[in-house]
Structure 1
Amino acid sequence: MEEVHVVVAHAERATLRVGEVFLKVDADQTRLDVEVAAMALAPVPTPRVLWRKPPVLAIAALSGTALGRLGEPSTASPAAWAAAGAALRTLHDAPLPPWPARGRGLDALVADLDAECERLVGDGVLAADLVTRNRRVAEAALRPWTPSFTHGDLQLTHVFADGDKITGIIDWSEAGPGDALYDLATLTLGHEEHLGDVVAGYGTAIDLDVIRAWWSVRSLLVVRWLVEHGFDPFAPGCEVDVLRSRM
C-alpha cells in the first residue's frame, strides 16, 4: 500500500503525495484554474495533469528531486541551479499569460509592507532595528517593473532536477504577469551561495540589489503568517536568518 506523504498543509490549501501522484486540495477555484492554465502555457517542463475534480487537482510526480529545502543545505549541483536559471529565463521571455497579475500591485505592496513592519515591531515578533534595516533594503524592489510571465511562488521545493537537468516545476497557482526578479529571489531565498549559479544560467545582467531587496520583502511579509500557521521562520537558515543576514 502506498503511503500518504503530506508535502505542505495549512488552512488555505494542502498538497499530498501518494506514490507517483500529487494531489493538491485548494478551495479557491481561481487558483486551480490559474494552475492548470499556467502549466499548459509555460514553455518549461511541468507535471502532467492526470485529472481534476474541484477542489482536487491530480498531477503526475516528477522524476528527480527538488533543488532543496529552506533551512537545509542543497545537494543539487551548481549545474542544476544554473539550469533552473536558464528555465526561468525561458519562462520570463515567453508571451504574457492572458489573465491579470496575481496578488498586490506596487502601491498595495508598499502599504501592506509598511503595515506588516509596524505589526512585527508592535507585537514584539521581531526587533525594531532588524525590521527597520530590512525595510530600507526592501526599498530597492519597490519600483515599477516590466511584467514578465512569472511563476509567482518559485520556492526551491517547487523545482525538480535529475542530475544537472530540470525535470519540472510545480505549484503554478500564483502564476501571472509579474517582476522576473521576484522569481529569481524566491528561488534563491536562504541559498545565497547559489545565486551566482542561477544568474549564470539566466544569462543576462541582473540587479543583485533588487534580488536582495525581494528577499527582505518576502521575509518581512511572511514571518507572522508562518508563525500563525504552525511553521517556524526562526529555524536556522529560514526567513528570520535571511533578515539577519542583511544587518
Structure 2
Amino acid sequence: MRRNSYTLAALAVSAVPGLEPARTIPVATPIDEFDVAGIIGTDGRRVLVTAPTTAAAGAHLEKDVHVTDALAGTSLAPLVTTAIGFARLPEGGRAAVTAPPHGVPVLFDRLGASLRLARSLGEVIARIHAVPAYVAESAGVETFTADALRRGHRARVERAREESGLPATVAQRWDAVLADDDLWDLHPCFVHGALSEEALFRDGEAITGVTGWHEASTGDPAADLAWLVSALDPDHVDALFAAYTAALPVTPHPRTLERAQVLGEFAVVDWLLHGIDSEDEEIIADARGMLDDLDHDLAQLAREEAERRYDDLAAGSRAAEAADADDAGWDAEGDRDLDPDHAGEDGDVTIEVEEIEVEVDVEVRAPEEHKAGTAVSDETDGPAVADRDADRNRGPVERGPIER
C-alpha cells in the first residue's frame, strides 16, 4: 500500500504529540519498499516519517530502530538518528518518526573529487568497526565467524556456477581466492553491511550522518570497504584507508583491501542469484554482462602482469650483462670501453698509455773465445773497456797493400 505525503504527515502527528505540520517534503529513497516524507511543523521542527509497504520492509525498519537505539550510547551517536515516535499501520507493523540526518546526501562524484571527504569517511568506517561486541549483541545483529563467511561465499559461487555458469577466468580466480587461507584469516567486527552514497550524509567535507542500518552484523570489515575499493581512484582509496587505519584502535588485517576487492566481485554473484530467485531475466542478463566484463578485465590484468614480469626479467638480464662487461673492461657490444673525452674531431680515439717501469733479468753470455775463464766485467775501468776506448782514440787505421 502506497501512501502520499499527507497520509505520512497524519502518521507523524499521531506519533509525535504536539507536532503541527505546516509543510510536507517528499523524500526519495533507494529502497522502493518504503514511503518517506519530511514534515516541517509550525514551530519549525523538522521530522522524517518512514512507513514500510511490505512485511519484509517492516522487518528492516524494526532492525534499523534496534541498531540505532543501541548505537546511541557509542561514539557513533552524533551520526545516527533514533526514533522519536511510532504510529501503528492498519495492515500491521508501524511507521517510525525520526529527526532528519544532519547534512546533505553524499554524491559519489563529490566523494571521488575530495580527499578530505574520503578521509572523513575512512574515520567514520573505523568508528563503526570499533563498536564494542556487547553493543552489537544488544542490537540483536547476526554474528558470523570467519569460517562461516568463507563458506557462505563458496556456496554462492558454486550455486552460480551450477545454475548459470561462470566465465573460465572468473571461476579460476574465485577458486584460488577462496582456497587462500591467509586471505580469510580475519577478525569479525561490527559492520554496517549496506554502506552506499544513499546511506551517507555530509556537511562540507565531513561525514555527518549514516542511515540504513538494517543489514548491520558482526562480520567481515572488508564488506564496508568493498564498494569504495572498486569505484574510487587509487589516490582516494589510499587516503581513505590511511585514515581508517589511523582511527582504528587495532591493526587491520594486512590483506583487508585485497579481500574488499574480492567481495566487490562477489557482489555480482549476489545480483545474479537475486535475478535467478526472482526469475527476472533482465537482472540475469545484466549480471552475466558484469561477469563478462570482469572476465575481460581479469584477462587483461593477467596479460599486463605477464608483460611486466617479462620486462623485469629482460631488464635484469641486460643489467647483469652490462655489469659483467664493466668488470671486464668491455662495453655491451664487445668493444673496449673507451673514454669519449679522448675522442678527436674525426672520431678517432687517443689512448693515453702510462709510462711503465719494467725490470728485466738478462743473462749475458761471453764470446766463445773468452769462455775459458775470462770474465766479462761491467766496471768502466776494466781492461776490456780500456782496450776498447784506446782503439776508438787511434782514429782511422792505415791499411797497407794486401799481399797476394
Do they fold alike, i.e. is TM over 0.5? yes
Q: Distance in 2 between matches of 1:18 and 1:139?
A: 47
Task: Select the residue among 53, 61, 68 that pairs with 1:39.
Answer: 68
Deviates more, 1:150-159 or 1:179-188: 179-188
Change (3 A) 1:118 1:157: same
**Number of residue pairs matched by the alignment:** 237
Task: Select the residue among 69, 72, 81 that pairs with 2:118.
Answer: 81
Q: Distance in 2 between matches of 1:242 and 1:185?
A: 18
Change (3 A) 1:50 1:126: farther
- Kindly indicate whether residue 44 of structure 2 is the aligned counterpart of residue 5 of structure 1: no
Change (3 A) 1:209 1:3: closer
Task: Select the residue among 11, 17, 41 that pairs with 2:36.
Answer: 17
- Kindly indicate whether residue 127 of structure 2 is the aligned counterpart of residue 90 of structure 1: yes
Q: Distance in 1 between matches of 2:118 and 2:168?
A: 35
Aligned partner of residue 215 in structure 2, secondary structure: coil
Could you tell me how far 1:7 is from its partner in structure 2?
2.2
Change (3 A) 1:84 1:131: same
Q: Distance in 1 between matches of 2:170 and 2:283?
A: 18
Amino acid across the alignment from 2:81: P
Q: Which residue of 2 aligns with 1:27?
A: 55
Q: Which residue of 1 aligns with 2:355?
A: none
Structure 1, unpaired ranges of 5+: 69-73
Change (3 A) 1:217 1:36: same
- Kindly indicate whether residue 237 of structure 2 is the aligned counterpart of residue 210 of structure 1: no
Asked if the contact 1:106–1:143 (Cα under 8 Å) also holds between the matched residues in 2, the reply is yes
Structure 2, unpaired ranges of 5+: 1-23, 40-47, 88-92, 247-251, 300-404
Amino acid across the alignment from 2:132: P
Change (3 A) 1:31 1:222: same
Amino acid across the alignment from 1:8: I
Q: Distance in 2 between matches of 1:166 and 1:220?
A: 30
Q: Distance in 2 between matches of 1:57 and 1:242?
A: 41
Q: Which residue of 2 aligns with 1:71?
A: none
Q: Which residue of 1 aligns with 2:240?
A: 198
Amino acid across the alignment from 1:197: A
Could you tell me how far 1:242 is from its partner in structure 2?
8.1
Asked if the contact 2:30–2:198 (Cα under 8 Å) also holds between the matched residues in 1, the reply is no
The structure with the greater share of residues assigned to helix is 2
Could you tell me how far 1:184 is from its partner in structure 2?
2.1
- Kindly indicate whether residue 208 of structure 2 is the aligned counterpart of residue 167 of structure 1: yes
Percent of aligned positions with the same letter in both sequences? 21
Aligned partner of residue 68 in structure 2, secondary structure: helix
Could you tell me how far 1:65 is from its partner in structure 2?
1.4
- Kindly indicate whether residue 160 of structure 2 is the aligned counterpart of residue 132 of structure 1: no
Q: Distance in 2 between matches of 1:169 and 1:177?
A: 17
TM-score, scaled relative to structure 2: 0.49
Q: CA RMSD in A?
A: 3.6
Amino acid across the alignment from 1:35: D
Aligned partner of residue 168 in structure 1, secondary structure: strand
Q: Distance in 1 between matches of 2:233 and 2:284?
A: 17
Q: Distance in 2 between matches of 1:58 and 1:142?
A: 42
